[in-house]
Amino acid sequence: VLKRSFSASAVRNTIKNVTVIGGGLMGSGIAQVAAQTGHNVTLVEMNADLLKKAEDSIIINVGRVAKKLYKDDPDGAKKFIENTRSRIQGSTSPTEAVKDSDLVIEAIVEKLGSKHALFKSIDNAAPSKTIFASNTSSLSIGQIASVTSRKDKFTGLHFFNPVPVMKLLEVVRTPDTSDETYQSAMAWGKAIGKTCITCKDTPGFVVNRLLVPYIAESVRMLERGDASARDIDIAMKLGAGYPMGPIELSDYVGHDTTLSILEGWHEKFPDNPLFNPSSALRKLVDEGKLGIKSGEGFYKYNK
Ligand code: NAI
């Protein structure tokens, strides 16, 4: 019997063809980073207009990266942009797009029903070797994977916004994720230039499990009148060394996002007080004050 050992450094990246489904904020960033690091990428959106929008935003962002990487080398920058662009193709058919894929990353809306429908539809269309991954922030990877026949080849790949800038990748293992799948995911994460951490399939993984209750408590602090928004932010920046205060961070993330994560967790784990939804966030969302993206949250922004 051949015994294989899987130490992280021993496993080489074998993933070449990557399919990213959902070309919004996260999916377009994931597609960009994968293409920049030499992978063939198929990006899937719902229709041609959305695909064009995703591709346009990738072109702008690749241009930014090229400018940084090739400061005094316009020819190098041009080549980098061309090479990256040539590695990305668009598709509006998930079943077609997964046919030759080594890794499928789902980055569509944060709704379990939509994710189930998608994974059900591509499970038979993808080769049996293909690894499936979800970029979900708040849903259970195991629950998403449950509709597929490849639970051993299913993992969480949780990126951070903006994907080309943020260094971290959370690699989430369910009890069914095989060692081989996990090691492939880790090797791929390294190959795209991310620092990977491993965590179990628990609500919020590591970063959001800590960050969401922290934001919620800062909002409760504001509601209680303990301190002003500005003072809470200054306190955490200068007292804890955080680059952004929690109220600013909440405006950056978007109150609709934070609230829906909290409400989802609260519904599933009603006894955990850390997941109690916040009435102040609910009020902001009802008023359309979603944060930076809507021009106003706790603070006002110039659009
Ligand atoms: P988004 O709304 O910007 O993008 C979602 C995209 O998916 C849209 O362009 C939509 O047209 C497309 N889409 C929806 N259903 C589809 C389908 N069946 N087939 C193909 N495309 C479809 O959302 P965002 O922010 O990019 O989030 C996507 C996922 O990433 C969510 O699961 C979210 O929880 C997760 N995430 C979000 C982060 C963030 O900071 N926004 C951070 C980390 C993870």
46 lines ligand 1 (CB under 6 A): yes
Nearest to 187 by CA among 63, 53, 1, 11: 11
> How does residue 5 score in pLDDT terms, banded at 50, 70 and 90?
low
Residue 9 has pLDDT above 60, yes or no: no
Give, to the nearest 10 degrees, the angle between helix 279-286 and helix 255-268: 130
Could you give the strand order of the β-sheet that contains 168-173, starting from the edge strand earlier in sequence?
88-91, 40-44, 17-21, 103-106, 131-134, 154-158, 168-173, 195-200
pLDDT, tens digit (0-9, with 9 covering 90-100), for 97-119: 999 999 999 999 999 999 999 99
117 lines ligand 1 (CB under 6 A): no
Q: How far is Cα 300 from Cα 292, in angstroms, rounded to an integer?
A: 8
Pocket test for ligand 1, best of 43, 49, 52, 108 (most atoms within 8 A of CB): 108
One of 3.40.50.720, 3.90.50.10, 3.40.50.360, 2.40.10.170 is the CATH number of 12-200, namely 3.40.50.720
Q: How far is Cα 103 from Cα 92, in angstroms, rounded to an integer?
A: 17
Identify the residue whose C-alpha is closest to ligand 1 atom 22.
22
Nearest to 147 by CA among 118, 127, 167, 172: 118
Give, to the nearest 10 degrees, the angle between helix 25-36 and helix 48-69: 50
pLDDT at 2: 55
Residue 1 has pLDDT above 90, yes or no: no
Q: Which residues contact 167 (CB under 8 A, 6 or more apart)?
A: 193, 194, 195
11 lines ligand 1 (CB under 6 A): no
Which residues lie across from 172 on neighbouring strands?
156, 199
- Whole-model pTM: value is 0.94
Distance 21 CA to ligand 1 centre (A): 9
Q: How far is Cα 118 from Cα 121, in angstroms, rounded to an integer?
A: 5
DSSP state, 92? S
Residue 4 has pLDDT above 80, yes or no: no
Provide the pairing of β-strand 88-91 with 154-158: unpaired
Distance 94 CA to ligand 1 centre (A): 15
Q: Catalytic positions, please?
A: 137, 158, 170, 208
Q: Which residues contact 238 (CB under 8 A, 6 or more apart)?
A: none
Question: Domain limits of the chain?
Answer: 12-200, 208-294
* Percent of the chain topping pLDDT 70: 96
Provide the pairing of β-strand 88-91 with 103-106: unpaired
> At the top level of CATH, which class does the domain 208-294 belong to?
mainly alpha
What is each CA distance from 189 to 14, 37, 230, in whole angstroms?
Answer: 11, 11, 37
Which residues lie across from 43 on neighbouring strands?
20, 90
pLDDT at 130: 98
161 lines ligand 1 (CB under 6 A): yes
Q: How far is Cα 9 from Cα 186, in angstroms, rounded to an integer?
A: 9
Backbone phi, then psi, for 169, in 5-degree steps?
-135, 120
- DSSP class per residue in 191-222: HTTPEEEEEES-TTTTHHHHHHHHHHHHHHHH
Note whether 4 and 26 are within 8 A (CB).
Answer: no
pLDDT at 172: 98
pLDDT at 11: 86
pLDDT, tens digit (0-9, with 9 covering 90-100), for 37-88: 999 999 999 999 999 999 999 999 999 999 999 999 999 999 999 999 999 9
Q: Which atom of ligand 1 is nearest to the CA of 138?
A: 34
Q: Which atom of ligand 1 is nearest to the CA of 26?
A: 26
pLDDT, tens digit (0-9, with 9 covering 90-100), for 210-269: 999 999 999 999 999 999 999 999 999 999 999 999 999 999 999 999 999 999 999 999
Distance 258 CA to ligand 1 centre (A): 15
